[in-house]
Amino acid sequence: MFEYDFMRNAFAAATIVALVSSLAGYFLVLRGQTFASHALAHVGFTGASGAVLVGIAPLWGMVVLTVAAGIGIGALGEKIERRDVAIGMVLALALGLGLLFLHFFTAFATQATAILFGNVLAVDSATLWILLGLAVASLAALAIISRPLIFASLQPELAEAKGVSLRLFSVLFLAIVAVATAECAQIVGVLLVFTLMIGPAAASQALTTRLEAGLLLSCLLALFESWAGITLSFYTDWPSSFWITFLSVSIYLAAVLGWSRLRRATGYRERAA
């Protein structure tokens, strides 16, 4: 399998994207903003289709528009009760623009399919370096804001009383999520971003409440799902996006259902004792 250049590029790209998406996704789940990744992915399709329309690389259009949308969502919805409204407004506008771009340029059906469902086997060396650069920038920014972000996520009222700007950190965080979403779309496509970004993070939080352990577990699950999905795709000739999604959903269900049963069984034994 590793005799082929495209397979080595695929595994390298999946590793980069898995690390970024799992860490950003962990904070998304922690903050209750999982819908944001879904919305930003659709915004990314609009950016990519617009980029193709004007003749530039789809990845750059996706990055620019998702970052703009992330900043907009963060600026409009720093309060929890306003988040869904802000995300819904940005998503509606993005879908409208996407329809307009498709109306003007309908000749890129193959590229549109790749954007929607991803094609990790088509990642070339140039794209790989771009993904690496974006990943390093995203992870560095996330590390810088991580402490106040955790404070604002777990105790927003107290954080605001202590002088932490909820709006500022919401904007910064969602800008990072936007870049992670654009990267993730290169692997599984905009329609399946939710599974790779949210699935591992949600499964890890179902299994442990410790922050450090949860972040590590989220990364490990994302790496396993990406690597196993590509491997299964190579040997079955089925789409890698399907396998990654299937593994993500299966592991999440196993974590939620299996762990809850284990806790119930443990509780029964303790009460019996």
Model pLDDT for residues 134-178, shown as the tens digit of each residue: 999 999 999 999 999 898 888 888 888 888 888 888 888 988 988
CA distance 167 to 217: 29
Q: Can you list the domains of the chain with their CATH numbers?
A: 5-192 (1.10.3470.10)
Q: Which amino acid is at 182?
A: A
pLDDT of residue 182: 84
Token pair in block for residue 59: 């990845």
Q: What is the distance of C-alpha 239 from the center of its chain? A: 19
The full DSSP string for 228-240 is HHHHHHHHH-S-H
CA distance 273 to 271: 5
Lowest mean pLDDT among 21-25, 66-70, 108-112, 202-206: 108-112
Neighbours of 88 (CB within 10 A): 14
Q: In the block, which residue shows the tokens 């972000």?
A: 149
pLDDT tens for 196-239 read: 889 999 999 998 889 999 999 999 999 999 999 999 999 998 88
**166-188 vs 193-207: helix axis angle to the nearest 10?**
120
The pTM for the full model equals: 0.82
Question: What is residue 164's three-state secondary structure?
Answer: coil
